[in-house]
Amino acid sequence: MIKPHGSDTLNPLYVADDAKRAELLKEAEGLPKLLVCSQAAANAVMMGSGYFNPLTGFMSLADALGVCENMKTTDGLFFPTPIVNVVPDVSAIGNAKRIALLDPNVDGNPVVAIQDVVSVDEATDAQMAGMTTQAYGTDDAAHPGVAAFNGTGKFFIAGPIQVLNYSYFATDFPGTFKTAMEIRDMIAKNGWNKIAAFQTRNPMHRAHEELVRICMDREGCDGAVIHMLLGKLKKGDIPADVRDAAIRKMVELYFPANTCEITGYGFDMLYSGPREAVLHALFRQNMGCTHLIVGRDHAGVGDYYGAFEAQEIFHTDMVKGNLEINIFEADHTAWSNVVGEVIMMREAPEGHKKEDFVFLSGTKVREMLGAGKALPPEFARPEVAEILMKYYQSQA
């Protein structure tokens, strides 16, 4: 199986030993408490799950600056985005060398992790501006990732962590949330050697379904892991439980048995386009996949990124040679009335016109489903559309 990033074996930060975990929870009662932001809590879960291997904790300001500038920490580790614990005020922790991090996403704010405090540094306005532009490609405050990054403060608390739970992801999505270790075990149990990973924060329509098949066929994959984002999204995105139900129905009815697994991970979307695509590749390597499907405007939002910037970044000197996972570069995919099947647009036969494809905008899809109108079967499987229709009608 493909090796994790940065080490020979996966080193998750979750404290799996029950007695040790209970001991740490007891210790946390007497430690200074810090309520972290949603993204920091999700990052702790990602480190606990092994997805951010080989990180041992939150990056320092110096590491974050290096990662934003050239995707390297101060000790030379390749990492595409800063993984940080940033807060607006550190007065509550004083000079403590060990603190308890509280989860903002669970009632009662339980301790999600204990952190050793190695350094606390305040970023300047210029440093925040530089990191924002480098990591997100824009400083527009309307960009949801930019708003989140700049809305949590300027104090960077660095140091290793011990993760004590998986936040709400394990309890709210018990059949879907999987750690990187669990996915590696699943791949081994299935006997798969080549594995395609498909990232999604949306339900999967016919085009997405076929894209997974195209990748598996062309790359000779034994199986596919549909890996769904379970964390915080932007306003208007479909809730994870609805997406989960729709995708499970699609796989149940339209994929052969033992060729496709449905899983999810706990992470707050960055919407940082190219940078996030590289992060997606890194943690799919950590979970054992050999291929990641990167499509049009992967991990983007609005018009901030070019259609294929998320593919182009893998060919830059900054990224090439730093990951072992392969990238399957996909074009926009849709049903062709000429060919009579879903194809990638760049592979359309000569003379094929745009109007020969079945396209529906997101707005049109929402309008149709909200009004109880069936989507064209060339666009969406009827069983999937029915699940989505019930959701949109419940929101009316």
Which sequence positions are flagged as catalytic?
201-202
Closest alpha carbon to 283 in 264, 306, 304:
264
Q: CA 66 to CA 361: how far, in whole Å?
A: 39
Contacts of 174 (CB under 8 A, 6+ apart): none
Listed in sequence order, the DSSP H helices in the chain are 18-28, 38-48, 61-70, 125-136, 144-150, 167-172, 180-190, 206-219, 240-254, 274-286, 309-312, 362-370, 382-395
How far, rounded to the nearest angstrom, does the alpha carbon of residue 168 sit from its chain's CA centroid? Answer: 16
Rg (CA), the chain: 21
Q: Which two tokens stand for residue 163?
A: 């993760």
Q: CA 246 to CA 251: how far, in whole Å?
A: 9
Backbone angles phi, psi at 294, to 5 degrees: -115, 115
Q: CA 100 to CA 29: how far, in whole Å?
A: 8
CB 107 within 8 A of CB 177: no
DSSP SS3 for 287: coil
CB 112 within 8 A of CB 102: yes
Listed in sequence order, the DSSP H helices in 109-205 are 125-136, 144-150, 167-172, 180-190
CB 212 within 8 A of CB 357: no
